[in-house]
Structure formats: structure tokens, C-alpha cells
Structure 1
Amino acid sequence: MSAAEPFLSRRPWHELPPALAPRLRTRLPELTTEMVQAIRREVRDYRQPFGSAVARDVAEAVRLAATQFTELVEEPDAPQHHYVPRFRRLGRLEYLSGRGMDGLQAAYRIGARVACRRYVDVARDAALSGEIAVPLSEAVLTHIHAMAGESVTGFEEARAGAADDVLRSRRLLVARLLQRRRDPLAEPLPDLARRAAWPLPERVRCVLLPASVKVPGLDADILRVTRDDELHLVVPDERLLTAFQDTGAAVGPAVPLEEAWISLHCARLARRLGRTSAQDHLAELHLLHGSPIGSLLADQVLEPLRDLPPGKAGRLTETLDALLASTGRTAPEVAAALGIHPQTARNRLRQLTALYGDRLDDPAFRFDAQLALRSRSTGHSSLL
């Protein structure tokens, strides 16, 4: 329905008995609850926690629609234009939330389906004519069509009137790129990028900075968003990374565009390690990502050292690490790696042999031990 057409130009409510109105009004809480549940169940966009802004908007929209429908049954010729701004607001909210109209249109259809069935049930419970089903369903569909038309008008007005649409689109775009789970009902990425005036690159890097850090001269092609006192940036060109030199920024690895969230995740882990380039420390980041399991493995490998004095346990741990990293597994190699006398290395190796026995020759144990010690270097074992 265009904005020029009168709201509810067709009025099939004349064919309905006004006595139905009080029956509907009595059942509205029950009926609207059922509609809201159906919409939340079937429209992913609206599966938000109860009490959230989206959940409140859905419940209010359903209540508004059911209330107006009841008024129309009671007084078919009563003015209804005061409802127009409220239905247009629903369309504006969809636009401002970064969604298209598909979700709202689906919600209208689901609400109409439930309303047709349940309103007929109410009429039959009231012993009204069995022939009421057809005109009642027609009235519901006419009402839904009018509401949807006004919401579309509100959506289009919001889009046309958004003077800062490029900036808004860029905020939505960076949020979309950094989402791990993609919304199938969201606006197609190429369309959003086009509105954001941002050519889609094949690969990007993400950069993480404290929000308090000011980086002068950032290129306009760098997308940015502030979240929880952090500045998240999506960088489409390697050459633009020079802006972050000497800023302490954590830079994620280059990834395909659809995996931008992984680059941000790596940047965050790198920052926890005190690194600036995640690309150069991917093995450490991988171990850190599984740090609880890595800690368990380290505790298991270092179990024989548990009862030793901390200083001695620490020396034997570094000796075990040097032994595993050596090629010939000889005392001179270990001594050279640790900067100690060969005889000291021999003494420590004898102690390790006494503690670990044949496990030092077991390839599986050696692999576990190397992994555990590397994990331990990125975090902390509870033993040592």
C-alpha cells in the first residue's frame, strides 16, 4: 500500500457481528501470547531474550494489531489513521536495526495465520454463525496487508531520509564481518557493502586497539567499531597497516573476508600473549586457545616433578625442554642450549631418567611433553 492510499480503504468488518468484539477483547492476552510465541519460533530475527528491545517490540506490535482489529470489528467505520505512525515505526525499526523487511513480513504472515484460526475458534465458542469463518479470515488478511504496507512505507522513508547512510552502513558492515554466526535473513553482503561505499576485498586483517588510543590519519577504507573499550578495525589492504606502527596494536593474520572474525580472535589472543603480530605466532595462539586442556596436559607430563623443590623442578623442566629440542639428545647439546657445564647437564639428565624412565624414549610421550611445555610457555601449569 502506498502512502497516498487511505489506510484500510477496504472494510470487510461490516460483514462481522459486532458481538464478536467483546469476545475477542476478553481473549486478547491469550491470543497475542500465542501469536508472539509462533513468531519467535519461526522468525530467527525475533528469537531474542524476553525483556530485550526486540522482544518488547514484537509483543507490542502484536498487541497493537490485535487491539486495532478488535476495534474494527466493534466499529468498522471508526477513524484508524492514528495507528498509521505506529505501524510505520515498525518498518523504521527494521531499517535502523540493519534488517530487511523479510523478517517483519514473515511475522505478519505468521500472525495472520494464527489469528485466522484462533479468531474463528473464539467466534464458534461464542455460538456465532458457522459461516463467519470466510469473512473473518478476509478481514484478518485485509488488516495484515494494510499494516504491512504501512511498515514498508516506514522502512522506505527511513532509508530515503538517512543522510548518514554510508556511515551507518559501514557500522553495520563491520559488525556483520566480525560476526561468527551469519544471519540468513540479513541484507546480502554485496548490497550492504555497496551502500557503505566499500569495495569488497578478497582478504582482510583485523586490528585490535584500546579505544583510548588515537591513531591519526586512518585511511577511509578501514572499517572501525568500538566495543567494550576496544577499537576493532577491518583493514582491506596490507599497505594500510603502516598506520599502526608504534601504536601497540595487535594485528590479526590475513584471512578470507568471510573469516574476518578469526583474524580478530587471533589479534585478541596475541594481545594476551603480549605480541603485536598474530601471523608470526599462530602456533602459540593455537595452544593458548586451548589453554585449559594444555594446562591439564602440562600437569600430566610434569607430574614426576610435583614433589621436588620449586627451584629444582624448574631446572629439570628446562632441561627436559632442551633435551626434547635437541637432535642427538646428548649432554653437550643440552649444556650448550642451556649455557651450563656438560657435567651439570649429565647430572640433570640422570635425574630425569630416574624420574621418567623409559618414557623419555617413547615418541608419543616426547610429542606430548613438547606440546605440554610449549603450552606451559603460553600460560601457567598449576604444578610449577
Structure 2
Amino acid sequence: MAAVTRHLEGQARGYAGGSAKPPGRLVCAAVKAAADLYVAEAAGGQPPRTGTDQLFARLGRVEAEERIHLDRMHAAWQVTTRHAWREISRHCRQAGADAGALTVLGELLHELMEELFRYVEAGFLQATRPHDVRARLGRMLLLSPGNDALPSLAAAACWQPPKLAVVAVVEHAARRAAPDLRQLSAAVLAWSDTSRTTVILDAARYEELRPALLAAVRPSPVALMGPVGLETLGDAHRWARQALALRRDGVLPADPVVDCAEWLDLLLAASDPPLLNHVTRTALHPLTDLGPHQRYMLALTLYDAIVRGGSAREIAVRLDVHANTVRHRLRQLEGLFGDRMQEPRGRIVLVMALNAVLPGWRDAAKRGANRR
């Protein structure tokens, strides 16, 4: 293999303009690293890729600086692979290798060279279109977290994939451009589509970065979901988008920041809208024939009593009414709902249903008050 390496290094020096120049030294180092990896894998080992991705990504960046087109690089890479295989197969035949062994070794070489070129390509793109690389990495994490190209893209983007991440989805405010996240660009992955911006943050730095993120996206609404593992980032992104849709529909409060962790029960129910509608109608049927104002006041009291609990006086303070008013409402509610207010399963269903209807019932109560 040493002879093959020397042969390829000679070709590399010619391609890079001589080994005395920095590109030539880098190309020779890449040839040696590729040869070492190939020998180790051909011997049945699993050599670590530590440093390999950075080396080949750096090669791509240098080629970009030399203004060498990516297509020319790929063509040269394929030629190098063919030359390498010609020399390797010649030495293997001389050593008595059979056709089966040559097939395995040939496939191994081509797979390794394709993997290494992905690192080179990612480095090239990082130098020429850095934002595109980070956007590609972010989209790949959402759509294909097990993709073999992830390590090379991450190296090119200079972003170390964390164990846990938080996903933020920003809904672009009407007649406003996408938020300016340049001050966070090194710490997050962020990209914008027509109607929203997606941001992926390292969960270990979330509390540190959250204030700057919220300040940068204001006044656009943002949904936050996490921490989650990288394998479930796509699901977290979908849940965050669902939360923003529920906010638009008035199911969730119109707060500028939606912490999805606070609304998991509603997100679960909203994944099947017909089931949520059925649960809501069934669970809250005793309130449906009441007027908008009375219905909302009783529902608000029921929600506060179940979720936050406490005495009538404590509930009254939170709702800003007299304690006797709360006692009267609680007696009405006990007559309407009976034991369901105390049963664990009944309380869960009631809270889920109330979360779904309270914003709409609040608005209906306000409209009724305005018509008086």
C-alpha cells in the first residue's frame, strides 16, 4: 500500500501545483489519511473518523479558495479512485488474491472515496455558500437524521451536533421579513422558508440563548419544543408547527411565545381533530346550553380548580372575584359534573377539553358583552 500511496501523492502534487505549496501539502496529507483508512478497513477494522472529516472539509475549502469548480474536483476524485484501484488490484493479484477478494476490496475503496468526497464537497460549499450549508444541515436533521452525509455537513457548517436539541419555529408576522438571527448564527442552525423560520439550538445552551432568540424574533410568534434527541427533531418541528396552528385557530392563547411542553395533552388530542371534537362535546356537554358569559365563567373556574387547586379564597384571588362567587360556582359545577371533578381520569379529560375550548369561549363571552 505504501507504493500505491507514493504513486497517488505524486499525482496529487502535480494536481495541486507542487508539494511545497500549502494546497499540495494538504492534498498529500489527505492521500495518506485515505490510504490509512482503507488499509484499516480492509483489515476488518472500524477506524475512528476523528479529524478525518475536518481534514477533507478543509481540502474542499482550499479548493474553493483556489477557485476550482466542484465538477472539476469530482472528476479528479474519480480519476484518482480509478488510478488507486488499478495499483491496488495489480498488487493484490501479484499477492495471489482471488476474484471474490478483489470484488470486496474494490467496493470498499469506492464506498470510502465517496464518503470522503462528501466531506470535501461540504467544505467547498461551506466556503462558497456558508448559509446554504447550515440550512442543508438543518433540513437533513429534520428529514433524515441518520443520513451518512451528516458528519461532513456538520463539519463544514462548523456545528457540533448536540445530544439534545430544542426546535423553535417562528411564524413570520404579516408584512414583515424573516427575523435577523445573525447575532446567533454561530450558535444555532437557522433557515427561513416562505412563511416561517426554523431554529435548532443545543439544549445545553438553551437557557443562555433563549433571551437573545426571543428578542430577535419579536413580534413574530414562536413555538418552542424540546429538549429532544436528534432522531426526533422532525417530530418536534411538526409539533411546534401544530402549536402555532392551534394558536392561530384560537385554541391556544395568543401569547407571542408558545412553550409546547405546557400543551402536550392538547397537541396529542389535536393530532386527531375529530376525536378532540368528540371528547370536547362529551366532556363539557353540561355547559353547552348555558349563555356565553356564564359558560365561560364556569369553565374558567372549573379549569382553575382542577389545574391549580386550593381553597375557594385562593381561587377567588386568582380569578379576581369574591370568594362567595367561587363557592357558588363550585356548587353549580359539582351539580353538573359530579364525581368527574375528583376522579383522576375524569379530571384529565376535562382539562384536555377545557384547553381546547376556553380561548373560543372567552372570545364569545366578550362578543356577548359588547352587544349589550
TM-score by length of 2: 0.48
For the pair shown, the structure with the greater C-alpha radius of gyration is 1
TM-score (norm 1): 0.47
